Amino acid sequence: MRARTWTVATSYCEPADDDIPELPIWAVTRPTNGGLAFAGSDGEEPFIRAERPMQVRR
């Protein structure tokens, strides 16, 4: 839900003008064994991982 809020806010104004928090910056890595991992910044332990991410069609 927050992604939609950021998208709408950036389309019409600055998000900070409406007290919408900044979009977090995540470090995205691809481990050697495959998959995908997101961490808060480089060098931090990933907070979410996917061993076999799938492409989806929206």
Instruction: Tell me what pLDDT residue 8 has.
Output: 74
The answer to whether 15 and 22 have CB atoms below 8 angstroms apart is yes
Instruction: Tell me what pLDDT residue 1 has.
Output: 55
Structure pTM? 0.50
The span from the CA of 35 to the CA of 27, in Å, is 14
The answer to whether 18 and 9 have CB atoms below 8 angstroms apart is yes
Task: Report pLDDT digits (tens) over 20-29.
Answer: 777 778 888 8
List the structure tokens of 44: 């931090």
Instruction: Tell me what pLDDT residue 14 has.
Output: 73
Cα first-last separation, the chain: 16
